[in-house]
Amino acid sequence: MTLEEQAAALPLDEIVALLVAQQEVAQQNAEWQRQVEWFKRQLFGRQSERRLREPDAQHLPLAGMLTPTAEPAAAPPPPTEPVKAYQRRGRSPSPAELPEERGLRFDPSVPVEVIELPTPGVAG
């Protein structure tokens, strides 16, 4: 079945609904085209950072202000200085890698005092 035959078989209200949907799609497409053009202007337009900037006529160039100093043709390289070598410390173990210590680290000679406090909400 061709598109013309399908269009001839559709009732009028479905044709109107299809035209309305096509118009909405066309408006959305036009909006997206405007957004793409705006992004292109932002990336490649006059304000873009990708362009080569021309020197400002009001600013003086720095190239000719400093006079070059005459260096001897066979200048010896600057002297080198020996640097003391060092070694890194070993990695300290993380708390997860340390052996697990169970119980208290006190011997039995340490006095222990137990203080019991009453809880008024649980007592009644």
Residue 22 confidence (pLDDT) above 80: yes
Does any domain span residue 84?
no
Does any domain span residue 36?
yes
What is the percentage of the chain residues whose pLDDT exceeds 70? Answer: 75
d(CA 94, CA 119): 40
Does any domain span residue 42?
yes
Per-residue pLDDT of 72-116, as tens digits, reads 567 788 888 888 887 878 777 777 666 666 666 677 888 888 998
13 or 43, which is more confident: 13
Mean pLDDT of the chain: 80
- Six-digit token string for 93: 């173990």
Does any domain span residue 99?
no
Q: Which residues contact 48 (CB under 8 A, 6 or more apart)?
A: 42
Per-residue pLDDT, 34: 96
Nearest one of 62, 42, 59 to 50, comparing CA atoms: 42
Per-residue pLDDT, 26: 97
Q: Which domain holds residue 34?
A: 10-50
Please give the model's pTM, rounded to 2 decimal places.
0.35
Per-residue pLDDT, 93: 74
Does any domain span residue 46?
yes
Does any domain span residue 29?
yes
Per-residue confidence at 52, pLDDT binned at 50, 70, 90?
Answer: low
d(CA 48, CA 17): 44
Does any domain span residue 27?
yes
CA distances from 119 to 43, 81, 113, 122 (A): 71, 74, 19, 6
Residue 60 confidence (pLDDT) above 80: no
Does any domain span residue 107?
no
Torsion angles phi and psi, residue 78, rounded to 5: -65, 150
Structural domains in the chain (count) = 1
